[in-house]
Amino acid sequence: MRPLTDWSMVDWSYSDREIATDLGCTVTTVRRRRPGGTNLSPKRLAPFAHLIGVESDVHVATMAGVSRQAVQWWRRNRGIPSPMPQGASRVTLKRAFKMLTAIVLRGGAPTEHERAVLAHFCAAHDAGGT
């Protein structure tokens, strides 16, 4: 495939990976050409924010159309712990305890994300994952 020379014709609403696949070039080439270096990851992740830290980074990335690394970066910058693998009961309990401690020390109600994570932990516990 002949490389596209007129980058003004590119529909930048798609992810870098999608554009690279369509054009037959590397993701790095698309990132270098993106006007203003705009990163679409935050916009694409916002509708799935409640799942970050509950579902795997790969699962959220697939749903949002971004890379696993974008989800991981977003999660880490907000101090959201990674989701627990099946059977990691001690770690799950420790993480839930830390989250509950933070909520108590903060003196407020849990955020929507914290409620989702704690509900996930409770469901895993009820399913026999103690």
For the segment 95-121, what is each residue's pLDDT rounded down to a tens digit?
A: 777 778 888 888 878 887 777 777 777
77 located within any domain: no
Asked, for residue 26, whether it belongs to a domain, the answer is: yes
- In-domain check, residue 114: yes
pTM: 0.41
Q: Is residue 127 part of a domain?
A: yes
In a domain, 69, yes or no: no
Q: Is the pLDDT of residue 26 over 80?
A: yes
Both structure tokens of 47: 């509708």
What six digits make up the tokens of 43?
């916009």
4 domain-assigned: no
Write b or e for each residue in 85-98: b if 16 or more Cβ atoms lie within 10 A of its Cβ, otherwise e. eeeeeeebbebbee
Do the domain assignments include residue 23? yes
Binned at pLDDT 50, 70 and 90, residue 84 comes out as low
Question: What is the number of domains present in the chain?
Answer: 2
89's CB contacts (< 8 A; 6+ apart) are 124, 125, 129, 130
pLDDT of 91 higher than 60? no
pLDDT tens for each residue of 28-56: 888 778 776 555 567 788 888 888 888 88
What integer pLDDT is reported at residue 67 of this predicted model?
82
Does residue 46 fall inside a structural domain? no
Domain that holds residue 28: 11-37
